[in-house]
Amino acid sequence: MRVAIGADHGGFEMKSQLAALLTQAGHHVADLGNRVFDPDDDYPDFAIPVALAVAEGQVDRGILVCGSGVGASVAANKVAGVRAALIHDNFSARQGVEDDNMNVLCLGGRTTGAAVAWDCVQSFLNAQFSGAERHRRRLAKVEQTEKALPQPRP
Ligand code: RB5
């Protein structure tokens, strides 16, 4: 599978570990940074490129790591066509794809252990969207909102 991966300083170490494991497992990994550890870098600078790579079809899935995974998921979800979620467990990693067609997995480098993170990544990559009618209906409602770009009321 073609996988784009990115992280800020909070996820830098975990990203390096995951990129190595993904490569060993035979995936094509596009590391979209940060390529060096920079304690002052900002998660949107890596989350947006990964999200765009997924939305544009350059890769099949994206993986983002920041300190908590929260900022990365918030940023990635601003890109149309991206369905990113912060994941802490194997069940959600699999079901997030099967039911919700999640295409970007977000992890917390400071909150999730390396073994659990790798388990989540494998479940995420091995899962496929079920295509069930009820899930398509729910996702269509999400897409409708994305297209309409509603603004908050003052
Ligand atoms: C950076 O220190 C930290 O705020 C960031 O990695 C992330 O946790 C944000 O959600």
- Per-residue pLDDT tens over the stretch 44-79: 999 999 999 999 999 999 999 999 999 999 999 999
Q: What is the dihedral of CA 107, 112, 115, 121, to 10 degrees?
A: -20
Site of tokens 């990964």: 50
Q: Confirm or reject: Cβ of 109 under 6 Å from ligand 1.
A: no
71 Cα nearest atom in ligand 1: 10
Residue nearest to atom 8 of ligand 1 (CA): 67
Sign of CA dihedral 137, 130, 53, 83: positive
Alpha helices in 25-127 (DSSP H): 44-55, 70-76, 90-98, 114-126
Residue nearest to atom 7 of ligand 1 (CA): 67
pLDDT at 141 over 90: yes
User: What is the pTM (predicted TM-score) of this model?
Assistant: 0.96
Please tell me the predicted confidence (pLDDT) of residue 111. Answer: 98
Pocket residue to mutate for ligand 1, from 12, 45, 70, 74, most atoms within 8 A of Cβ: 70
Give me the amino acid identity at 55: A
Centre of ligand 1 to C-alpha 90, Å, is 22
Residue nearest to atom 3 of ligand 1 (CA): 67
72 Cα nearest atom in ligand 1: 10
Q: Could you give the 3-state DSSP secondary structure of residue 48? A: helix
pLDDT at 1 over 80: yes
Centre of ligand 1 to C-alpha 41, Å, is 10
pLDDT at 133 over 80: yes
Q: Confirm or reject: Cβ of 41 under 6 Å from ligand 1.
A: no
Please tell me the predicted confidence (pLDDT) of residue 37. Answer: 98
What the chain holds in terms of domains, given with CATH numbers, is 2-148 (3.40.1400.10)
Instruction: Give, in order, the Cα–Cα distances in Å from 22 to each of 3, 28, 45, 53, 80.
Output: 9, 8, 22, 17, 26
Question: Could you give the CA distance from residue 131 to residue 59 in angstroms, rounded to a whole number?
Answer: 20
Give backbone dihedrals phi and psi of 99, rounded to 5 degrees, phi first.
-100, -40
